[in-house]
Amino acid sequence: MKIAIIGTGNMGGAIAAGLAKGKIVESGNMICTARTQKTLDKIRSMDPEIAVTTDNVMAVKEADVVILAVKPWLMENVIAGFREYVDISRQIFVSVAAGITLEELSTWIWPIQPSCVSVFRAIPNTAAAVLASMTFIASANADAEQIKLVTDIFDEMGSTMYVEERLIPAGTALASCGIAFAMRYIRAASEGGVEIGFRPDEARKIVEYTVKGAAELLLASDGHPEAEIDKVTTAGGITIKGLNEMEHEGFTSAVIKGLKACI
């Protein structure tokens, strides 16, 4: 199997990095495209076995799976540039661009008969680079074998969830935008750590491992966050005082409002 990543910027680069660390595809069977040599050099320095090029046509012609990671407003024009070289009898197309529907994607790739091309939307996050992404997948005109293949590809980079397309915007807010929200909490808690006495590098490391530990506890137990909170909130203790103060300032409400604003 050969995979082409068209547009290897932040998200495309994270996918390339994740796949290079996995086993489903050898680095030598990956080809990445970008508009600038600087970006291509960055990919090559990450793994010299990955082929790089500025030629989207060449990349698409050689690929079995084409991952489209260009900006949403560029997608239609980029597809138009290689459309005549598409082989819908064997190729799968996966868009990781927010806001591009499956109907639009299939129409742009094969306008004569859109229902004949197998298309996917996949919404990973940048943690794909370290094999820790939460990825949402939806598809059109794809059979069970193709769905399993695309799921397996993104499972290499973390965890996947196959959903109806209508849930893709919500998944984007919760997991893709959610990476930034988690980072903002880490930044805020780190700044608080400095205020209460730690050096900046110490505070950041403490918070990073604390957040990682919280996630690992929940993933290991499949439990509810409140159950873990109850374990560390003693009657009249400092943890419940801190939590309540955050809630008085609108912590939960602010998170929910932020998520809803993304949709």
Q: According to the model, what pLDDT value does residue 151 have?
A: 97
Domains of the chain in sequence order:
3-163 (3.40.50.720), 172-261 (1.10.3730.10)
The residue ranges of DSSP E strands in 1-64, in sequence order, are 3-6, 30-33, 51-53
Q: According to the model, what pLDDT value does residue 41 have?
A: 92
Report how far residue 36's alpha carbon sits from residue 219's, in angstroms, rounded to the nearest whole number: 40
10-residue mean pLDDT series, the chain (263 residues): 95 94 94 93 92 96 96 96 95 96 97 95 95 97 97 96 97 95 97 97 98 95 94 94 96 96 93
Report how far residue 35's alpha carbon sits from residue 132's, in angstroms, rounded to the nearest whole number: 27
Laid out side by side, the sheet with 133-140 consists of: 51-53, 30-33, 3-6, 65-68, 92-95, 118-123, 133-140, 158-162
Report how far residue 232's alpha carbon sits from residue 235's, in angstroms, rounded to the nearest whole number: 10
Residue 69 phi, psi (nearest 5): -120, 25
Residue entry with tokens 């990671």:
69
C-alpha neighbours within 13 Å on the C-beta side of residue 98: 13
DSSP 222: T
- One-letter amino acid identity for 254? A
Neighbouring C-beta atoms of residue 21, cutoff 10 Å: 16
Residue 19 phi, psi (nearest 5): -65, -35
Beta bridge partners of 5: 32, 67
Q: According to the model, what pLDDT value does residue 166 have?
A: 97
Q: According to the model, what pLDDT value does residue 4 have?
A: 98
Strands 118-123 and 133-140: antiparallel
Do residues 56 and 78 lie in contact, with contact meaning Cβ atoms separated by under 8 Å? yes
Q: According to the model, what pLDDT value does residue 70 have?
A: 96
Q: According to the model, what pLDDT value does residue 245 have?
A: 96
Neighbouring C-beta atoms of residue 86, cutoff 10 Å: 17
Strands 158-162 and 51-53: unpaired
C-alpha neighbours within 13 Å on the C-beta side of residue 36: 4
Report how far residue 205's alpha carbon sits from residue 101's, in angstroms, rounded to the nearest whole number: 39
Beta bridge partners of 31: 4, 51
Do residues 9 and 36 lie in contact, with contact meaning Cβ atoms separated by under 8 Å? no
